[in-house]
Amino acid sequence: MNDFEEQERLYENVIASRYNRDYHSYPIMKNHDRNFASFVAQYYRQGDRVLDLGCGPASLWHLWKELLPSPDFIIGVDISEGMISECQKMYPEDNYNFKVGSALDIPVESGSIDLVIVSSILHHIPDEYLPQVFQEMNRVLDEHGTIVGREPVSQGKLGDQPGWFSGALMSFRHLVYRLTHTREYPEPAIGSYHHAYVPMEFMQILKQFFSPKSLLFRHPISSLVSRCDYPLVEKIVYLLDKSLNHYGGHEFYYVATKNYTDAEDVAYCIQQELLTEFTADQKVEFMALLQKASEILEKELDKN
């Protein structure tokens, strides 16, 4: 096991018992999980053998159970013994197959998987190891296998807009936290290898091993307040996300296959999507929506 893997294993063991609470229990987080599951469902075919790589404590398995006809069709792999222990506690009688293992050495047979789900785990891996991870995915996938994943964005988020625009977003976030008394959790120290991605750089590495099929950006506003538990705020931030058509999202969804005939066309579309600019008119319209949202929340504060 590499040094970064050992550090990651220890880190995940520390947070395993509270991971689902901290990262998947809040309404906005649950909505993001459902959105991702719906995206995955578009690429699942009846009878596919599924690998949930970096499954954590079975965080999304209640959603995969809706997708799959039988527990025989899915394997969960995670580097942390603590995470796998939590999986087994959650599903003690469902006969699901959970395994301790590394993304660099996936403990399944070659060609035995049709769909690999990769939900926000690759940003835990140093860039120099990504090619090896993609090679391993390629090995375990069937000839026409598919990978579907999501990862956080490091650059190009809506909050990266310069000047008063980002200030307005942060002020809106503070207003939400003031209204809802939202608190963040202290975290154990994580490795310096943890990092979000520049989507195009990520896709260029992926393209060396797979044919990209889709790239979508998601949740530009709701991600800013994902631990908020307040129905009015939830409704407002979803509407703000929709008003932007998710431009400047804090995470991106991607799909790639071992064999896809229109890879060049898709790569061109991806490049054009990444070059899309947030126009001045769109910025003015969104700022007006953000102002209206803030006024609604201020009135809500006055009631409390």
Quickly tell me which residue has 């995206």 as its tokens. Answer: 39
Angle CA 149–151–155, to nearest 5: 140
- What is the spatial distance between Cα 272 and Cα 253, in angstroms, rounded to a whole number? 16
- What is the spatial distance between Cα 69 and Cα 287, in angstroms, rounded to a whole number? 46
- What is the spatial distance between Cα 222 and Cα 202, in angstroms, rounded to a whole number? 23
Could you list the mean pLDDT of each consecutive 10-residue stretch along the chain, which spans 304 residues? 89 94 95 97 93 97 88 90 95 86 96 97 92 96 95 90 89 94 76 84 92 93 95 97 94 88 62 72 89 93 85
Cβ distance 84 to 73 under 8 Å? no
Backbone phi and psi for residue 129, each to the nearest 5 degrees, phi listed first: -95, -10
* Closest CA relative to residue 86, chosen from 30, 16, 143: 16
Q: How far is CA 46 from CA 50, 94, 142, 189, 214, in A?
A: 11, 20, 15, 41, 21
Amino acid at 218: R
Instruction: State the fold for domain 3-158+184-277.
Output: Rossmann fold (3.40.50)
**Which three-class secondary structure state does DSSP give residue 109?**
coil
Q: Whole-prediction pTM value?
A: 0.90
Length of the chain: 304
- What is the spatial distance between Cα 59 and Cα 56, in angstroms, rounded to a whole number? 6
What does the pLDDT read at residue 275? 66
Domain-by-domain residue ranges, the chain? 3-158+184-277
- What is the spatial distance between Cα 56 and Cα 87, in angstroms, rounded to a whole number? 8
**Which three-class secondary structure state does DSSP give residue 280?**
helix
What does the pLDDT read at residue 195? 87
CA dihedral over 295, 296, 301, 304, signed as positive or negative? positive
What does the pLDDT read at residue 96? 80
What does the pLDDT read at residue 254? 96
